[in-house]
Amino acid sequence: MKYKIKEKSSIQGEIKISGSKNATLPLISAALLTKEKVMLYNVPLISDVLNMIRILDSLGIFVSYQYQHQILTIQAKHMKKKVLSAYVGKLRASYYLMGALATRKKTFQICYPGGCNLGQRPINLHLDAFHAYGIKYEEDEEGLHFKTTKRQNTEIHFPVVSVGATINAILVGVKTLGVTHLTNVAIEPEVIDVIECLNQMGANIRFLEERSIEIQGVKKLHGVTYSVMFDRIEAGSYLLLASSLPESKLTLQGVDSTKMASVLEVLSQMGNQFQTIDKAITIVSPKELSNVCVTTGPYPMFPTDLQPQLTTVLLRGMEKSTIIEGIYTKRFSHVEELKKLGARLDKEENQLEIYPSVLHGGDLNVHDLRCGFALIIASVMSKENCTIDQVEYILRGYEDITDKLKKIGIEFVKLS
C-alpha cells in the first residue's frame, strides 16, 4: 500500500487517542484464562488486533468484535490445542497465547510468533519462565510443543526487564496454586493494566517492591468487563508530530499524562509547552527546537517505541542531538529512509547523532510500525511532497490514521 503526503507549515486541531495496542493484545490472552465471558472496551481497530481475533477464531473460541463501539467479547469455553494459524507469525504478541494455553492444556503446540523486524527478538525469557513453572517444551520446524504434568509455583528473577516475559509469567502464575514471586519485572503501564484486569477477574497479584510481584495462585478466574488503557505510544507519536512543525497547537483527548512523564519531560526540554485538563493534553510547539540527549529504556525511561519519531523531529533542532537506543540495538530502519530526504544522521552501534537538517521530498519505504510514523513526520516536515510505501506496517498499530491526520490538516492519500 502506497500513500502520498504533503508538507505542512503547522498542525492545529484535536484528536482522540485510541485504546492501547500493547495492552489489548495481552488482555485478549488474559481473557482465555476463564471459561466465562470477558468484555473488553476501548479495543482499537488495528490489524494486530484483527489478526489476534482470527487466531482465537481458528481455536474455536467465541469472539465477537463490535468495532464501531470498540467492544470485544471473548468466551473461551473450549479451545483447540494446536495454534497453527498463519496469523501467529504475523504478530509478536501471539506469544501471549503460550501463557494462556499453558494454564488450560496439558499439551499444546504453537507456531513461532512474528512481529516487527527490530533485529533479534528472542523469546528465551518466556521459555525460561515456563520451564520454571514445570512446563516442558520441544522445538521443531513447525514451532513449539509444550507439555505439563504438574505446574508448580516458583521464583523467577528476570535477567533482563521484559514486558512480554513478565506478562506471560503472570498469566501462568495466576492459576498455579501456591505463591509465586517474580523479580526484576517490567512495570510498563500496559503490564499494570493487565494485572488490574486479572485482579478484577479474581486473581491475586500484588507488588511487594517496585519490580517485585507476588502472585497467590487461585483455582478459578471469572468473567469481567474491562476498559483498555489509552495508547501512550500513539499519544506520544502525535505529540511528536505536532512538535515537528513550529507553532503548532494540538489537543489529544483520552490521555493520562501521569503515564507519560519521561516523554513530556523530553518534549519540554525541546521547548514544547503543555496544558493538561482532566484527560486532555494540549501541546504548543516552539518556533525553534532545542537539542536533547535521550537514552531509551524500560519504563519509566523514554520508550523505544517513540525513538524513530523523536529522531525525526530532532532534525529540526538548532544543534546536534544524541539518542542512545537501550532496548533494541538494531531499531534504526528509519535512518536510511530519512537520509533519502537529506537528513544528516551518524550512527555508531546503538548511538545516533542527529544534526540540524532541511528535508526535501522523496519516495520512502516503511520497515516497521514506528518507523512508519517517523516517516509520516518526516514527510510533513519536508519542503516537498513524499510518497510512503508499505503503509501496512503503520495500520498494525495506529487506529484510524488517515482520519486522525485529516482532522489536524494532514492529507494522507492512498495511491495504490
The residues annotated with a catalytic role in the active site are 116
Q: Which residues of 263-301 are buried (b: 16+ CB within 10 A; e: fewer)?
A: bbebbeebbbeeeeeeebbbbebbeebebbebebbbbee
Comparison of 236 and 397: residue with beta carbon closer to ligand EPU: 397
Comparison of 187 and 289: residue with beta carbon closer to ligand EPU: 187
| Helices 21-30 & 47-58 angle (0-180, nearest 10) | 10
Q: Site for ligand EPU (CB under 6 A): which residue of 34, 244, 285, 304?
A: 304
Whether the CB-CB separation of 227 and 41 falls below 8 Å is answered with: yes
C-alpha to C-alpha distance for 192 and 321, rounded to whole angstroms:
32
CB of 23 to ligand EPU, least distance (A): 8
211 near ligand EPU (CB under 6 A):
no
Q: Site for ligand EPU (CB under 6 A): which residue of 369, 391, 394, 408?
A: 369
Exposed/middle/buried for residue 78 (C-beta within 10 Å: 0-12, 13-18, 19+): exposed
330 near ligand EPU (CB under 6 A):
no
163 near ligand EPU (CB under 6 A):
yes
Whether the CB-CB separation of 274 and 301 falls below 8 Å is answered with: no
CB of 6 to ligand EPU, least distance (A): 26
Q: Which stretch binds ligand EPU (CB under 6 A): 56-64, 114-122, 237-245, 274-282?
A: 114-122
C-alpha to C-alpha distance for 114 and 365, rounded to whole angstroms:
20
| 3-state DSSP assignment of residue 152 | coil
C-alpha cell at 394: 503503520
Handedness of CA 116, 117, 119, 124 (dihedral sign): positive
Helix (H) / strand (E) containing 261: helix 261-269
Place of cell 542512545: 324
| 3-state DSSP assignment of residue 116 | coil
C-alpha to C-alpha distance for 194 and 126, rounded to whole angstroms:
17
CB of 21 to ligand EPU, least distance (A): 6
Find the length of the chain: 416
228 near ligand EPU (CB under 6 A):
no
170 near ligand EPU (CB under 6 A):
no
29 near ligand EPU (CB under 6 A):
no
DSSP 298-338: STTSB-GGGHHHHHHHGGGBSS-EEEE--S-TT--HHHHHH
Comparison of 286 and 300: residue with beta carbon closer to ligand EPU: 300
CB of 243 to ligand EPU, least distance (A): 20
CB of 273 to ligand EPU, least distance (A): 27
Handedness of CA 320, 323, 324, 328 (dihedral sign): negative
Helices and strands (H, E) in the chain, number of each type: 13, 24
Comparison of 85 and 304: residue with beta carbon closer to ligand EPU: 304
Q: Site for ligand EPU (CB under 6 A): which residue of 74, 79, 125, 395?
A: 125
C-alpha cell at 219: 483455582
Q: What is the DSSP letter of 273?
A: E
162 near ligand EPU (CB under 6 A):
yes
Give me the residue whose beta carbon is nearest to ligand EPU: 164
323 near ligand EPU (CB under 6 A):
no
86 near ligand EPU (CB under 6 A):
no
Residues 49-78, mask of contacts with ligand EPU (x by CB under 6 A):
------------------------------
Comparison of 24 and 382: residue with beta carbon closer to ligand EPU: 24
Q: Site for ligand EPU (CB under 6 A): which residue of 40, 101, 165, 270?
A: 165
CB of 112 to ligand EPU, least distance (A): 13
Q: Which residues bind ligand EPU (CB under 6 A)?
A: 22, 25, 92-93, 116, 121-126, 160, 162-165, 186, 233, 303-305, 327-328, 369-370, 397
